[in-house]
Amino acid sequence: MQQVTLGLVGGGTVGGGVVAALNRNGALLASRLGLTLRVARIAVQDPKKNRSTRLPPELVTADWQEVVNDPTIQVVAELMGGTTTAREVVRTALSLGKPVVTANKALLSAHGEELFAIAARHGANLYYEASVAGGIPIIKILRESLVGNRVTRLAGIVNGTCNYILTRMKLEGAEFGDVLADAQRLGYAEAEPSLDVDGHDAAHKTGILASLAHGFWVAPEQVYTEGIRQISPLDIQFAAQLGYTIKLLGIVKMVGANSGDSRGRRKNPSIQVSVYPALIPNSHVLASVNYAFNAISVRGDIVGDTLFYGRGAGAEPTASAVLSDLADAALDLCHGSPRRVPPFVCHEGNGCVLGLDEVVSRYYVRLSVMDRPGVFSRIANVLAKARIGISSIIQPEGHAGETVPVILMIHDAPNAAMKRALAQIARLSVVKDTPVMIRVESLE
């Protein structure tokens, strides 16, 4: 049986998970592929470190170049993370014409356009299934399974840490800080949690999905990013009373998807690419995705609505995605087919990413106002002058004192107009504290 030799760069959670998965299911893979995958070299930062998965000491080195430059290594897996050394590893391997498998969403978000160009120049391929949503095969679905569809909307829960925190806040009525501390103790959140809770991890993933779905590269700075630190139990409680659940969503939405010119030619796509907490209806399946699980809803113009659900992080789900890529890389290598469906192809002209100010949305707004007559009219007057409509005003009962909460549900309005109106409302003498605004996504 033909054999393909693998070199791993990184032996931590993901790298160790891949070694363990190959030990467990290597024979199964061989029977399905008609070839064997053999790990021939593993580069790690500290060869003497104790690890949950034993790495054969004769295969371990501290020098990644020994792995990448070894002429017997046919496929390189970059599993170390980061964007500096990892970038050098991937660039070097691709320049040698070697296929590379990576789980590194930060690297692809920051340097993906460059790396795919290097791969194309040298006739290599870069596989990246594990970079988004762990064990959910969303990359292959967008790249291959939905190749005949225009993706008109994608909405995903792609960060398990944030989903874990929001789930417990909803079920227990707990404060953000208390749940975050517990998540850190349990290992769901890092000691420095900003990458997750401020939305940056989700933004890396959402940008990759947007680039893949629409065929032009979406730079990290084009992804509007907002985290969950400002979400309070009070907002989660009011959202529930209104029939909604708050989730951190990655949103990729085509604007004017069916528009064309006078000759019927389709216009270049404009898309919204954003990460923010949003109210979603309890009737939508994403509302029931809880704890550390991920889920991505994709709408294609032919297939309609689809949903993909599973574990979005951890050694085993990520290793499963890496094994899928290793299998593809080995088959492509052995059968001389380095390209299947190209990863990022400009298929409908040069698209553009809308700035958030141009995006139209519905909104949930919570105000803390003085409990006196005439308050509602002053607030409504500001919104009316901004041409922003109110769908409902709710003053929850049971809140006594000089100030009380007021909930506004706002009709569709441009983000820029909404920001200006809220700034004016915040300056009203009857409004105390900073207004809270959360977008509403109907996902219809």
pLDDT tops 50 at residue 258:
no
What angle in degrees, to the nearest 10, is found between the helix axes of 233-241 and 160-172?
Answer: 70
CA 40 to each of CA 43, 65, 197, 366: distance values in angstroms, whole numbers, following the listed order: 10, 14, 38, 58
Lowest-confidence range among 31-45, 78-92, 174-188, 336-350? Answer: 336-350
Q: Measure the CA–CA gap between 397 and 71, rounded to whole angstroms.
A: 73
Res 348: pLDDT? 60
Q: Which of 98, 105, 140, 205 is catalytic?
A: 205
205 belongs to the catalytic site: yes
* Residues 153-203: tens digit of each pLDDT: 999 999 999 999 999 999 999 999 999 999 999 888 888 999 999 999 999
In contact, 2 and 334? CB cutoff 8 Å: yes
Res 378: pLDDT? 94
Q: How much is the average pLDDT of 367-380?
A: 91
Name which residue leads in pLDDT, 270 or 299. 299
CA 110 to each of CA 33, 104, 113, 148, 204: distance values in angstroms, whole numbers, following the listed order: 33, 10, 8, 28, 8
Compute the 3-state secondary structure of the chain and give helix, strand, coil in percent, each to the nearest 5: 40, 25, 35
pLDDT band with cut points at 50, 70 and 90 for residue 268: low
DSSP 341: S
- For the chain, counts of helices (H) and of strands (E): 13, 17
**pTM for the structure as a whole:** 0.92
In the chain the domains, ranked by start, together with CATH numbers, are 2-134+316-334 (3.40.50.720), 139-311 (3.30.360.10), 357-440 (3.30.70.260)
Q: Report the SS3 class of residue 407.
A: strand
pLDDT tops 70 at residue 401:
no
Q: What average pLDDT does the structure give for the chain?
A: 92
pLDDT band with cut points at 50, 70 and 90 for residue 216: confident
pLDDT tops 90 at residue 121:
yes
Res 350: pLDDT? 64
Q: How much is the average pLDDT of 250-260?
A: 74
One-letter amino acid for residue 266 of the chain: R
pLDDT band with cut points at 50, 70 and 90 for residue 5: very high
Q: How much is the average pLDDT of 97-118?
A: 94
